[in-house]
Amino acid sequence: MHETTLLTPQAWEAFYVIVGSTAGALIGLQFVVLTLITESGMIRGTTDTFSAFASPNVVHFCAALLVSATMSAPWSGLGPPGVAVAMAGVCGVVYSVVVLARAMRQQDYKPVLEDWIWHAALPILAYAALVYAGTRLRTDTLFVVGGAVLLLVFIGIHNAWDTVTYVMLERARERKTRADAAKATAAKAAERASSTGPVPSPRSGVDPPSGPDEIMAPLGSGGTGEVTS
């Protein structure tokens, strides 16, 4: 009797409260991070790139929040929540396939193996698990639903952190590139100045006049410089 009670959806209420509240908080944090990055001018790329590597994080958090709220509702049986969970899983699978197509189509970033795992394979796996558990929701498949929801939260956390880290590293790399270019330009200018030598003065080699006689000499005949009244 006690074991059967622990396997009912009501026994998972504390679990879904923790997961759902965490997902909701991370949704708000994701909006704040993306706003700060956009205002600082760090995000560049096409819409496909943004939709493939940034927007899915919010969707995964929202899916975890939706399933948590669904499983926490006071249902009279397992049929209605199973249908809701299965529908959420189907929508998630379709969306994950669309995200995969966008990731393959975009040209701004070349994904590595880790990106394909966390941005494509694991989300499809999590949503497929929701479809499986929702269509046959029983006391044993409640663990599948809980594991899939927790996986979606971890996927969103990893991908959001990965995106922020990548943008910050790219920004630092661009600053270093500009600084190196400025140093190279300054070095070339200094080398060019040292090779040409000092520029001679326009009166170089001509002694300045020492007195009034020399100043007035060009005015008189024979260079004697006479002043007439």
Q: What pLDDT score does 29 carry? A: 83
pLDDT category at 59 given cuts 50, 70, 90 is: very high
Whether pLDDT at 217 is above 80: no
Q: What is the DSSP letter of 228?
A: -
Q: What pLDDT score does 41 carry? A: 61
Whether pLDDT at 146 is above 50: yes
Distance CA 54, CA 47 (A): 10
pLDDT category at 93 given cuts 50, 70, 90 is: very high
Name the residue with higher pLDDT: 3 or 179.
Answer: 179
Q: What is the mean pLDDT of the chain?
A: 81
Phi/psi for 148 (5° steps) reads -65, -40
Whose structure tokens read 């699978």?
A: 93
pLDDT category at 192 given cuts 50, 70, 90 is: confident
**DSSP three-state, residue 229:** coil
